Amino acid sequence: MAIRPVVRFPDPRLRLKAEPIVAFDDELRTLAQDLTDTMRAAPGIGITASHIGVLRRLVVIQLETDASPHVFVNPQIVWFSPEMIHHVEGSVSMPGVTDEIERHAQVRVRYQDLDGMEHEEVADGLMAVCHQHEIDQLDGIFWIDRLSKLKRDRLIKKFDKLQRLRA
């Protein structure tokens, strides 16, 4: 379909909460395909509609081991495991920088598919991390908000320097 421009940090739209999707139509399917194409081009393993400036609750995730992308409409985490894991994260909206984030090792996610059918699944490891990362983004929580102020400030300085070098 189409690769759309990615909203870059510190764009204020990355801090806005996305609205629920109520229409399950061709426009939604096109948006999901555009997200998939944009995620692959970025490159990334997860993306939200918010990353392209569309404040709707839509997520696409495709891990290296997945044959095809997973599309999650109106996802919400309904359970978190008490066990925690650390994983290096980054964002298509802040390319070139990563840091280690602590997340729940396992989550249960309730969501709808592109036809509006409800589903619930348990995810662990990297998929659990992706769900938490992307649902945070839908809630206006950018991934660096999970870092300490010191780490966040260092990461922003590094990103700013990378942006100046690319300009």
Mean pLDDT in residue range 96-119: 98
Residue 73 pLDDT level (bands cut at 50, 70, 90): very high
pLDDT the model gives residue 100: 98
Q: Which domain holds residue 127?
A: 12-166
Mean pLDDT in residue range 5-26: 97
Residue 49 included in any domain: yes
Residue 91 included in any domain: yes
Give this prediction's pTM.
0.96
The tens digit of pLDDT for each residue in 121-131 reads 999 999 999 99
Distances (CA, A) of 102 to 69, 87, 133: 25, 7, 11
Judged against a pLDDT cut of 90, whether residue 139 lies above it is answered with yes
The tens digit of pLDDT for each residue in 22-52 reads 999 999 999 999 999 999 999 999 999 999 9
Residue 5 included in any domain: no
Which residues are CB-contacts of 37 (< 8 A; sequence separation ≥ 6)?
A: 1, 2, 3
- The reply to whether 118 belongs to the active site is no
pLDDT the model gives residue 167: 76
In the set 27, 83, 121, 134, the catalytic residue is: 134
Domain count, the chain: 1
